[in-house]
Amino acid sequence: MQSLWKILTVAPLFLLLSLQSSASPANDDQSRPSLSNAHTCVGCVLVVSVIEQLAQVHNSTVQASMERLCSYLPEKLFLKTTCYLVIDKFGSDIIKLLSADMNADVVCHTLEFCKQNTGQPLCHLYPLPKETWKFTLQKARQIVKKSPILKYSRSGSDICSLPVLAKICQKIKLAIEQSVPFKDVDSDKYSVFPTLRGYHWRGRDCNDSDESVYPGRRPNNWDVHQDSNCNGIWCINNVNKLCCLGSQPRGIILLGDSAGAHFHISPEWITVSQMSLNSFINLPTALTNELDWPQLSGATGFLDSTVGIKEKSIYLRLWKRNHCNHRDYQNISRNGASSRNLKKFIESLSRNKTLDYPTIVIYAMIGNDVCSGKSDPVPAMTTPEKLYSNVMQTLKHLNSHLPNGSHVILYGLPDGTFLWDNLHNRYHPLGQLNKDVTYAQLYSFLNCLQVSPCHGWMSSNKTLRTLTSERAEQLSNTLKKIAASEKFTNFNLFYMDFAFHEIIQEWQKRGGQPWQLIEPVDGFHPNERNSILLKGILMTSQTLDNQEWTQLTSWIKGNLTCDSRTREWLCCCWRIISGKRCSSSGPKSWERRIRSTPRLNRCLETKAGTEPLRSTHPWGAQGGRGLGKLIPQTLWGLPRHRPKGLFFSSIFAKCLSLNEEHIWTTVQCCVLLGSVTLPLFLK
């Protein structure tokens, strides 16, 4: 997981020499040799493949296809300009080699972006040439024998070594390593800038010059002077006590890896049949977000799904339940994160025990404790004992920072054997045009270069896949044990399995196929559908059959039932006056308002306290006082309670005892009467 974003940062742009070392994600393994060369090799093969396929699809020259690719790139971040510079430098040799029917593997080895070290296997994505590899490579080198670019050293080239860019690169790298916003004037860990760890990752700051103003805090003096928690509820004259008091605001915080950050590479970037001027519009945003899309993640996403999933992220569920939760989200996820290196960036979590609202924290390190790109990944896996130590250290840190009343959910690890079983014989987007690249070939290529996000599961070796799943199960059992045995003063602790089989079943019920739940380009990460469906299962999980878990999930879903007499009364009166469901903002504020309003109090006693709930209309079916006597049933309960197949015109006709043809001349009268009688009722 930690290396894929490096590869794709350079690939679409052909920045094969510059971006690998800047803004790199977590990598706690320094022993693997020539990682920089490996990333460069993958990037080169992808880009040359796209150039070759563009020429094929558009029946054009290689020169024209390279110019077409550059024309698709946006001007932002100098992407288009950089592309043309790269063409000017390497284009002539690429044209010669592709015109000689050399595939992308041969081109990149000839130009020395890919290298086969002594004693190492030959790493290739495409099938080997019919002639021997040695002969083919010698032939290709003869074609570009006099090329001046072969004298150019690929090592030590780093755009960040330029004096004018050194400080900027260092600041960006530091922001990513520490998981804090690049632009944060008041240093409160919240930003008005979207990317570079800005408000795509955590709630948007509404005053970047005041460190006491940020999402998730309790309102300062009930916000009589300013919106101190950026939730948009700025009530004056202490009315904020009625706005949010008793509504139990809660934030959502995710401690995760690249899956939690929603690592995503758009298939349009490498699928030439779909490529157009619009394909790369979101590339600058993706690059400045480390190729992550937290704004669409299942936990903290605040944008609507781009894949047509009706379920919402946990944050949007919390927001829908209670608008006082507006902007209170933090995605503290990082490509390459695991229980081993979480301590390096957990300090970026922003929560004050005394000043802020309680929150829900999801610990979802679901891959990198068993995944690595090493040729022998088993020794590098986290042991159950080490995981226990790492997680306890994290939980102690959370207990010292979270407000009392918070919740922490530990996610188990998935069974990744699903990947090989469902993808290995399918064609990768890069191979769909000519049916020449399967996921099995991609996995083998990445494993050979030792840059695979998970060699253990992305392997043809069934024994290795089984060993990886067994260790994942051991680590999940360790997390389950921690949740069952450990207690903390400031939060309740829960465990939840990574219910991948339930996700598959739900997706198949909707007519989908299991492979559609995985990112198509990297063939490893859960995609947007998977992420959102998983968070939906969290809301209906039967993993824990206890009162605390039921209260937590019900509270998040926002459909609390009226399980007490007081709540029944409140819900009844709320339905009577508006036709809506039971208020999810809690009983206290509504109870005060009802008890302080004589007419509502009378309604409370007569309709909910002593009489059966046979009517949800203000005066029942028999009419009421004053203007109510003129109306057998008012407008307010009708839309909610109309029978199926009954149209509003016939409802209004029945309501006012009129014929259908008279409706449109009298409906305004009905609305007017309703707007008059409701204020009278609330007076």
Q: Which residues are catalytically annotated?
A: 258
Measured from the Cβ of residue 9, the count of other Cβ atoms closer than 10 Å reads 24
Tally of helices (H runs) and strands (E runs) in the chain: 23, 5
Give CA–CA dist 554/129, Å, rounded: 60
The single-letter DSSP state of residue 254 is: E
Give CA–CA dist 278/73, Å, rounded: 9
33 by DSSP, 3-state: which? coil
Beta 329-333 vs 359-364: how paired, if at all?
unpaired
Q: What DSSP letter does each residue of 112-160 carry, written as one string?
A: TSS---TTSPPP-SSPPPSS-HHHHHHHHHHHTTT-GGGGS--TT--GG
Give the E-state strand segments of 358-436 in sequence order: 359-364, 406-411
Structure tokens belonging to residue 539: 């809301």
41 by DSSP, 3-state: which? helix
Give CA–CA dist 286/277, Å, rounded: 17
518 by DSSP, 3-state: which? strand
User: Tokens 């000017």 map to which residue?
Assistant: 88
According to DSSP H, which parts of 298-428 are helical? 314-321, 384-399, 417-423
User: Tokens 């890069």 map to which residue?
Assistant: 430
Q: At what angle do helices 62-72 and 35-57 cross, to 10 degrees?
A: 110
Please report, to the nearest 10 degrees, the dihedral formed by the alpha carbons of residues 199, 205, 206, 212 taken in order: 170
Measured from the Cβ of residue 308, the count of other Cβ atoms closer than 10 Å reads 8
665 by DSSP, 3-state: which? helix
Structure tokens belonging to residue 37: 């060369």
Structure tokens belonging to residue 51: 């150039």
Beta 329-333 vs 491-496: how paired, if at all?
unpaired
- Cβ neighbours for 7, distance < 8 A, ≥ 6 positions apart: 39, 42, 43, 46, 451
- Cβ neighbours for 602, distance < 8 A, ≥ 6 positions apart: none
Structure tokens belonging to residue 318: 């919390």
Closest by Cα among 158, 142, 358 to 249: 358
Give CA–CA dist 442/436, Å, rounded: 11
The single-letter DSSP state of residue 356 is: B
Closest by Cα among 600, 603, 584 to 592: 600
